[in-house]
């Protein structure tokens, strides 16, 4: 806000010959005598902005938007300021000279543009931008640039940004001189009164529909110096269906894997899918919480391929198990193996006894 005030003050300092602090005209130069103001002119600059290129972006983007500024200012009318039936040669010459100066009323001088956002999902990272001066009918040679940041949590939709334009413009002209000669007006003095104009405009940007993913559940216990299985449930929290989605993880110490991909299939908005990863935990792993990066590659509804932002998988590494703990974890497996061995043994004994009886017969 302070920077904006400084900009306005700078414009006022540079372009105001007269500072309007009250509704009455005050602090005019001595030669500003409105009894000799031959024309009262109406109209002025009309600066408009046009967004260059597409206005659709996506959550998490940091982009530069370009705005072309064009001055469509016109003089809408004028009145006789002296209301005299006849003018002498000097007055007529001064009148014509004043009209030539009045035509410059539509020029926007020292344009400064300020872009702001009232929505917490959209941040404007750039301060006030200067755009120079624009006579009527002309546009900026180079667009005015603003950097904006779109939150990763921004819902799809249209977001209005407020563009404020400040500029100086010629509010009035007063000409005086001593005599009219073949060479022109002698001792001519030109009083130019500048003021500050302001225009506001809304610039709409759009956050497009897309698939967006979050981890909603993680199960599986990982122990140091052991292999483990991690089950990760992903949810499509976006607005677009993700087709043929495949997730890939990127692991660092203390984890390693030869199984870093899992197929999720098609996820419509709101749907979930589970991925299973086999991880090896280093024997020197410190028992603490860890974060594993993952990305999802998918196709949108038009068949275009996309890769999601990085999605964090939060898990923990537990201390290495003792031999007794490891053995107890396999007790059930040992029982099953024993039962299978016994069953196979009984089968073969029964079969052998049957063969012996057959031979005796």
Classify residue 244 as left (phi > 0), alpha (psi -120 to 50) or beta. left
Q: Are strands 189-207 and 56-57 parallel, antiparallel or unpaired?
A: parallel
Q: The whole model's pTM is what?
A: 0.68
Q: What confidence tens digit (pLDDT) does each residue in 235-281 have?
A: 999 999 999 999 999 999 999 999 999 999 999 999 999 999 999 99
Alpha-carbon span 342 to 50, nearest angstrom? 83
Alpha-carbon span 107 to 192, nearest angstrom? 13
Residue with tokens 């309007």: 20
Burial class (CB within 10 angstroms; exposed 0-12, middle 13-18, buried 19+) of 96: exposed
Domains, in order of start, for the chain: 2-207 (2.60.40.10), 213-322 (2.60.40.10)
> Is residue 236 within 8 Å of residue 270, measured between CB atoms?
yes
Once rounded to an integer, what is the mean pLDDT over residues 320-329? 58
For the CA atoms of 268, 271, 276, 277, the dihedral, rounded to the nearest 10 degrees, stands at 70
> Residue 25 pLDDT more than 90?
no
- How long is the chain? 361
Number of alpha carbons in the 13 Å side-chain half-sphere of residue 183: 4
DSSP state of 177: -
> Residue 341 pLDDT more than 60?
yes
């Amino acid at each position: 806000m302070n920077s904006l005030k400084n900009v306005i003050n700078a414009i006022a300092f540079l372009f105001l010959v007269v500072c309007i602090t009250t509704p009455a005209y005050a602090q005019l130069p001595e030669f500003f005598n409105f009894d000799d103001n031959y024309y009262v002119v109406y109209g002025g600059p009309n600066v408009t902005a046009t967004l260059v290129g597409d206005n659709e972006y996506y959550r998490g983007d940091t982009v530069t938007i370009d705005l072309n500024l064009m001055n469509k200012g016109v003089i809408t009318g004028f009145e006789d300021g002296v209301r005299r039936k006849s003018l002498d040669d000097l007055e007529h010459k001064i009148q014509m000279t004043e009209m030539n100066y009045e035509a410059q009323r539509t020029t926007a001088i020292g344009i400064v543009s300020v872009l702001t956002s009232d929505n917490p999902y959209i941040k404007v990272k750039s301060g006030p931008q200067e755009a120079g001066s624009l006579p009527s009918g002309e546009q900026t040679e180079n667009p005015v640039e603003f950097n904006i940041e779109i939150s990763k949590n921004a819902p799809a939709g249209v977001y209005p940004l407020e563009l404020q334009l400040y500029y100086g413009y010629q509010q009035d002209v007063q000409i005086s001189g001593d005599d009219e000669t073949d060479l022109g007006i002698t001792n001519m003095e030109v009083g130019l009164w500048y003021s500050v104009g302001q225009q506001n405009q809304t610039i709409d940007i759009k956050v497009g529909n897309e698939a967006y993913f979050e981890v909603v559940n993680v199960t599986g216990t990982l122990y140091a110096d052991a292999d483990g299985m991690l089950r990760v449930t992903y949810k499509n929290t976006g607005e677009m269906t993700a087709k043929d989605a495949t997730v890939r993880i990127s692991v660092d110490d203390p984890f390693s894997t030869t199984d870093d991909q899992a197929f999720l299939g098609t996820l419509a908005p709101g749907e979930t899918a589970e991925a299973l990863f086999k991880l090896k935990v280093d024997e020197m792993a410190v028992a603490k919480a860890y974060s594993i990066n993952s990305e999802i590659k998918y196709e949108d509804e038009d068949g275009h391929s996309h890769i999601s932002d990085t999605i964090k998988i939060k898990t923990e590494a537990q201390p290495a198990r003792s031999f007794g703990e490891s053995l107890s974890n396999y007790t059930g497996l040992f029982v099953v193996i024993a039962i299978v061995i016994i069953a196979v043994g009984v089968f073969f004994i029964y079969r052998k006894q049957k063969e012996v009886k057959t031979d005796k017969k």
